[in-house]
Amino acid sequence: MSHEDIDAQDNVSTAGHFVLLGFSDLPNLQGFLSGLFAIMYLAVLIGNSLIILIIRLDPALHRPMYFFLANFSSLEICYVSVTLPRILFNLWTQRRTISRLACATQLCFFLVLGTTECFLLAVMSYDRYVAICNPLHYALLMSPRRCAQLAAGSWLGGIPVQIGQMCQIFSLHFCNSNQIEHFFCDIPPILKLACGDTSAHEVSVYVVVMLVAAVPFILILASYSKIISTILRLPTAKGRAKAFSTCSSHLLVVVLFFGSASMTYFRPKSSHSAGTDKLLSLFYTIVTPMLNPMIYSLRNKDVIAALRRVFLKTQSPGSP
């Protein structure tokens, strides 16, 4: 760690920067980690961009399910770009300082996009619910206008609440240290630096998490309970298998994202450890967005068929 990383620890409430310790406790792995995270970032960008491109180019995928999947892939690119470039910068330069404004901005975008992911996963489960449980009204309930409204609501719905939460967190006085035991600005490690009793702020965080994460998760569970009940009543095994295949990918993403995120935000501050928080955060900030393209493409026959058609079209003699 450079000498600048140890400065300004006496009265951080007046300091203009924090120090993201990140993976400084693994000095011998800095080169390996920078290479690993660079590969993961490229995988996220290429995989999700490929899904967006395939959905845009193939008319067979111009359906609500894939409209939301394209939105979700766009979101994953934005979500990872909030944290990973900063991680790579810190690893490459070994300069871990981040200004108070930059830290607040990173936290705000992280919270807003995380909320969008919760809402969008709930919307995608609603789309599957309507398709399987109410197919005769699917075209009416999931019209292009309704899909656009649901997508816009997912992207914009969390902005006011999360901006308010970010402002509340950064209105605290930080007097213990300016060193954040994490690789990006997140609520649990920042609250650890605050002076005095932060129980009221912890309660506020729990309330917000309940609104933007627990409520969508409950709606997802309710949708899938109806979906599974309907699928089990289908007369043919082939029909049941096809219905399950369209839902299994989404359900796997839900488990990965909500499982790791809930273990981070629903634990009390006293039980947080830097190592555990970092490991859990890696799952819902980097690993899940990286796996999503593989989950949705390898488990989705429509996407595989569309990818094959696009590939054959580009390889045909008449193609430019």
Give the pLDDT score at 110: 94
pLDDT tens, position by position, 236-255: 777 777 777 767 778 888 88
Q: Are 55 and 70 in contact (CB under 8 A)?
A: yes
Q: Half-sphere exposure of residue 177, counting CA atoms within 13 Å on the CB side?
A: 13
| pLDDT range class, residue 274, cuts 50, 70, 90 | low
What is the token pair recorded at 81?
Answer: 């770009």
pLDDT tens, position by position, 133-176: 998 999 999 999 999 999 999 999 999 999 999 999 998 888 86
Residue corresponding to tokens 């839902």: 247
Count of Cβ atoms closer than 10 Å to residue 28 Cβ: 6
Nearest to 47 by CA among 317, 304, 268, 292: 292
Count of Cβ atoms closer than 10 Å to residue 166 Cβ: 22
Average pLDDT rounded to a whole number, residues 81-109: 92
Average pLDDT rounded to a whole number, residues 290-296: 82
Three-state secondary structure readout of the chain: CCHHHHCCCCCHHHCCEEEECCCCCCHHHHHHHHHHHHHHHHHHHHHHHHHHHHHHHCHHHCCHHHHHHHHHHHHHHHHHHHHHHHHHHHHHHCCCEEEHHHHHHHHHHHHHHHHHHHHHHHHHHHHHHHHHHCHHHHHHHCCHHHHHHHHHHHHHCCHHHHHHHHHHHCCCCECCCCEECCCCCCHHHHHCCECCCCHHHHHHHHHHHHHHHHHHHHHHHHHHHHHHHHHHCCCCHHHHHHHHHHHHHHHHHHHHHHHHHHHHHCCCHHHCCHHHHHHHHHHHHHHHHHHHHHHHHHCCHHHHHHHHHHHHHHHCCCCC
pLDDT tens, position by position, 189-223: 888 888 877 888 888 888 898 889 889 999 999 99
Count of Cβ atoms closer than 10 Å to residue 114 Cβ: 24
C-alpha to C-alpha distance for 308 and 145, rounded to whole angstroms: 30
Average pLDDT rounded to a whole number, residues 85-101: 90
Q: How many residues does the chain have?
A: 320
- 10 Å CB burial of residue 12 (0-12, 13-18, 19+) is buried
Q: Are 190 and 169 in contact (CB under 8 A)?
A: yes
pLDDT tens, position by position, 28-62: 888 898 999 999 999 999 999 999 999 998 888 89
Domains in the chain, please, with CATH? 3-315 (1.20.1070.10)
Percent of the chain at pLDDT > 90 equals: 40
